[in-house]
Amino acid sequence: MVSPARLRPTLVSLSLLLLALLTGCRDADPIISVTDTGQAERLSIGKTAGQGPVKQLRLQVEGQLNGTAQLVVIMEGQPFHVFTLSDSIDLTWKDRWPHDRARLAYNPGTATGGSLRIRYRFVD
């Protein structure tokens, strides 16, 4: 039989490992992409299942455009925030948001190509 004094370091190590695994397994923020940056696109995003009441929306926009485009955040059918995008894009935006869903409108302007990824989180 192993003495309790010898088991203690093993139990502490296993507990720390379990804690690290559980905190590291958090779901990543969802990502959507504009499939053709030369064409207008409407995107719909929403909170994840099981989330509480939403208080804030956070967007992280990354990519590269050949030309200039706009990304519009729409609240209750009206433009809430307009981003002008061009060249290399790496921006983070957050603001109050009392809804479970949001609509985004991508308008290509002079953009003829490139790539655009939008990571989002509805913060409760």
Structural domains of the chain sorted by starting position, each given as residue range(s) with its CATH number in brackets: 28-123 (2.60.120.380)
Contact in structure between 84 and 33 (CB atoms under 8 Å): no
Contact in structure between 47 and 123 (CB atoms under 8 Å): no
Rg, Å, the chain Cα set: 21
Show pLDDT as tens, one digit a residue, over the chain (124 residues): 555 565 455 544 545 444 444 444 446 899 999 989 999 999 999 999 999 999 999 999 999 999 999 999 999 999 999 999 999 999 999 999 999 999 999 999 999 999 999 999 999 9
Contact in structure between 85 and 41 (CB atoms under 8 Å): no
